[in-house]
């Protein structure tokens, strides 16, 4: 039996996700007009909390936050009187310049221009907000370019046109904001009918692909994210995408550009696309994919071998053939196909590994790699009416059983137990939060009799009104 461990969010405790204390906010009475709000912001110092009284405010002149610097221990907080109680309409809301350690919390944003966190700001926090900006063609709703920004317990919803919910970029044309943290947010109901340009999260763009961002995107829920095949589009390097749930959505997780990203412990359920991979040195582990119409995992092919500094813009837009990508310990159930490759580009994956995955299905091929020579196969376990394909695997019934959350996990006598063919240093826990050590179980689940710490997220666990 494996010992259970609990993973806290990187650098943020549960208390750090909470709304500012009502008692603290109550020390000053709320301001009751935008003019009063602006005067209070102009006078704010480290530790100030400014509360705007509930109501709907038409912002005809931007609310300027210029040169306001809190501290890590004493941030400046600008908040609604109650969560969701302040609605900001008009052309713009807050315009930030040269500010740091500042929180915007509890607002409903309905403006007509992007809310921008610019690169001359640092440690800006957006929490417990609702974003439903004007549904304008090409409008991106929130753009983060400020280092070490935090976005927790917000909701984005209701867009039907071209444009993304949340973009993360950086200064200039090639840099990325450093250390952005995105957690416990709800991204839902994007209905743009086009085939590109409606991502809920776009983490970089192709000119920034080689920049290390160090972003962590975790514990977010995506529902009916139908504006793009990519719900989480990664176009930068050195990021962690973990423990998110994507449900009933066309969009999947795509490592489109960049290197050394980690995709771990995510649920992709009843959607159109799974996980698609380009670039080098990624780890894709402990993910659970069930009921995906297309392939569970696609290990892509390339039009270029590697992206390099100084390459042309046209080359940078090309697909980088995967090198040294590890796809291990994933569970892929009842998808259109299991783990597949691409053959419509000429450059194959090299030095990649597909190991210790659990694949069950009745359609397509469970492993279908048109360029198998550059791939190490080991320890994969397959079952169902679908063909095994061209990847070596052991065919045995994994003896799965669904839990109360609908997730199919290993049972006591499963042949997947202690059956891994490879070691996974750095993969410390499974999908549920159970510790992995030694020769681990095949697939995303490490057998345990304990109740899972983690599971698929629900709407009650994310967004402005969650605990």
Report pLDDT digits (tens) over 243-271: 999 999 999 999 999 999 999 999 999 99
Asked whether residue 281 is assigned to any structural domain, the reply reads yes
- Residue 132 contacts residue 108 (beta carbons within 8 Å): yes
Q: Where residue 349 sits, what CATH number does that domain have? A: 2.160.20.10
Asked whether residue 302 is assigned to any structural domain, the reply reads yes
pLDDT of residue 6: 29
Give per-residue pLDDT as tens, 194-244.
888 999 999 999 999 999 999 999 999 999 999 999 999 999 999 999 999
pLDDT of residue 195: 85
Nearest to 20 by CA among 50, 46, 42: 50
Beta-carbon contacts of 126 under 8 Å, excluding residues fewer than 6 positions away, are 103, 104, 105, 117, 142, 149, 150, 151, 152, 154
- Which token pair is 342? 């691409």
What 3-state DSSP class applies to 226?
Answer: coil
pLDDT at residue 3 is higher than 70: no
pLDDT of residue 241: 98
Asked whether residue 174 is assigned to any structural domain, the reply reads yes
Asked whether residue 50 is assigned to any structural domain, the reply reads no
- Residue 107 contacts residue 130 (beta carbons within 8 Å): yes
Asked whether residue 43 is assigned to any structural domain, the reply reads no
Question: Phi and psi dihedrals of 109, rounded to 5?
Answer: -95, 120
Average pLDDT, the chain: 93
- Which token pair is 14? 């549960």
Rg for the chain (alpha carbons), in Å? 23
* DSSP secondary structure letter of residue 27: T
pLDDT of residue 13: 35
pLDDT of residue 27: 61
Asked whether residue 342 is assigned to any structural domain, the reply reads yes
| Distance, CA of 373 to CA of 349 (rounded, Å) | 9
Asked whether residue 362 is assigned to any structural domain, the reply reads yes
What 3-state DSSP class applies to 34?
Answer: helix
Asked whether residue 215 is assigned to any structural domain, the reply reads yes
pLDDT at residue 193 is higher than 60: yes
Domain carrying residue 352? 114-461
pLDDT at residue 18 is higher than 90: no
Give per-residue pLDDT as tens, 376-417.
999 999 999 999 999 999 999 999 999 999 999 999 999 999
What is the number of domains present in the chain?
Answer: 1
- Stated as kind and residue range, the H or E segment containing 37 is helix 34-43
């Amino acid at each position: 039996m494996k010992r259970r461990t609990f993973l806290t969010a990187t650098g943020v405790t549960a208390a750090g996700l909470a709304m500012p204390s009502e008692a603290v906010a109550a020390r000053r009475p709320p301001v009751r007009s935008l003019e009063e709000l602006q005067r209070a912001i102009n006078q704010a110092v480290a530790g100030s909390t400014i509360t705007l009284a509930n109501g709907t405010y038409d912002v005809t002149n931007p609310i300027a936050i210029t040169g306001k610097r809190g501290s890590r221990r004493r941030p400046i907080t600008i908040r609604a009187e109650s969560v969701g109680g302040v609605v900001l309409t008009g052309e713009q809301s807050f315009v930030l310049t040269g500010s740091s350690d500042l929180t915007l919390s509890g607002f409903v944003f309905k403006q007509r221009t992007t809310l921008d966190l610019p690169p001359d700001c640092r440690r800006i926090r957006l929490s417990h907000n609702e974003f439903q900006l004007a549904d304008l063609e090409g409008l991106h709703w929130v753009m983060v370019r400020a280092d070490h920004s935090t976005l927790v317990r917000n909701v984005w919803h209701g867009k039907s046109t071209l444009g993304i919910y949340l973009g993360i970029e950086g200064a200039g044309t090639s840099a990325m904001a450093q250390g952005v943290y995105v957690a416990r947010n709800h991204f839902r109901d994007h209905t743009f009918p086009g085939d590109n340009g409606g991502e809920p999260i776009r983490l970089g763009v192709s000119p920034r692909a080689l920049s290390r961002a160090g972003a962590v995107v975790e514990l977010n829920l995506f529902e009916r994210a139908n504006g793009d095949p990519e719900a989480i589009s990664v176009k930068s390097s050195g990021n962690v995408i973990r423990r998110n749930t994507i449900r009933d959505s066309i969009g999947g997780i795509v490592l489109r550009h960049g290197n050394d990203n980690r995709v771990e412990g995510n649920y992709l359920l009843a959607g159109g696309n799974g996980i698609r991979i380009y670039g080098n040195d990624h780890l894709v582990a402990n993910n659970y994919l069930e009921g995906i119409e297309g392939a569970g995992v696609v290990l892509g092919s390339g039009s270029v071998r590697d992206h390099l500094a100084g390459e042309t813009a046209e080359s940078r837009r090309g697909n980088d053939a995967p090198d040294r990508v590890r796809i291990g310990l994933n569970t892929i159930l009842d998808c259109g196909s299991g783990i597949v490759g691409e053959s419509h580009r000429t450059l194959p994956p090299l030095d990649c590994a597909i190991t210790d995955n659990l694949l069950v299905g009745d359609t397509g091929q469970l492993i279908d790699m048109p360029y198998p020579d550059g791939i190490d196969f080991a320890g994969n376990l397959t079952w169902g009416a679908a063909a095994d394909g061209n990847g070596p695997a052991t065919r045995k019934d994994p003896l799965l059983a669904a839990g109360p959350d609908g997730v199919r996990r290993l049972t006591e006598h499963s042949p997947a137990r202690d059956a891994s063919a490879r070691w996974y240093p750095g993969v410390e826990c499974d999908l549920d939060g159970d510790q992995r050590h030694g020769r681990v179980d095949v697939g995303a689940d490490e057998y345990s009799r304990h109740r899972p710490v983690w599971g698929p997220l629900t709407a009650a666990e994310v967004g402005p009104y969650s605990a």
